Amino acid sequence: MLDLLLPQRCVVCGLGGTQFCSTCLTRLPRIEPPLCERCGTPTAWPVRRCRECAGRRLAFASARAAVLYDDAVRALVAAWKERALRRLAAGAVSVVIEVVPPPKADVVTFIPPDPDRELKRGHHPPRQLAEQLARRWELQLATPLRRRAARRQRGLSRAERRRNVAGVFSAKGAVPRSVVLIDDVFTSGATVNAAASALRKAGARRVEVVTFARVVR
């Protein structure tokens, strides 16, 4: 009945019938090898460390993303996060499953929401991703991470992003040795690195980061 009163349109191309059409799903720019072995950024040839992560102390063992963050992906993520279009999670999950190899880990967890923004949005895309990916990968979902309020990362430089999330995350209880950490978009890596650091301090020996999209400079 709701679809009759408010017809669905693709958030990318505007075609009627669904929130995210099959054509736009097919056209999303998948991230394919060669990649940086550590941070997952596309490279001209396989490397262990690229310019993005060389010289940085990274708490995660590897990072992988499914798609490049272009205009279409930006529209999709904005609609998913700001307009609470929860059905979009299924399309994102399908692309992650297609592109990212199943991780060898004990549990799946996710970047927790900022307390203020969670109240305003009423939902949390990284948790949706983590829940569905955990089922598809047949892994347990865990929620050890806690987050205190901080400035928004949007508009900050890379150095400011790192300072802004330093100490923001903490982990409650014992954390399994191997963890997959889920987020929606990998921008500078500052957020996932800070969260991975908290997981490592709580007992994780290896943290693998998986995101739907990645910003590539």
- pLDDT tens figures, 83-117: 889 899 999 999 999 999 999 999 999 999 987 76
Is residue 20, in this structure, part of any structural domain at all? no
Q: Is residue 18 part of a domain?
A: no
**pLDDT grade for 72, boundaries at 50, 70 and 90:** very high
**Distance between CA atoms of residues 90 and 125, nearest Å:** 11
Q: Is residue 177 part of a domain?
A: yes
Helix (H, G, I), strand (E, B) or coil at 12: coil
What's the predicted TM-score (pTM) here?
0.92
Residue 6 has pLDDT above 90, yes or no: no
CATH of the domain at 181: 3.40.50
Domain ranges, residue 152 = 29-214
**Among candidates 215, 163, 213, 156, which has minimal Cα distance to 193?**
163
What is the tens place of the pLDDT at every residue in 122-180? 789 999 999 999 999 999 999 999 998 777 777 778 788 888 788 899 999 889 999 99
Return the closest-CA partner of residue 168 out of 182, 150, 154, 181: 150
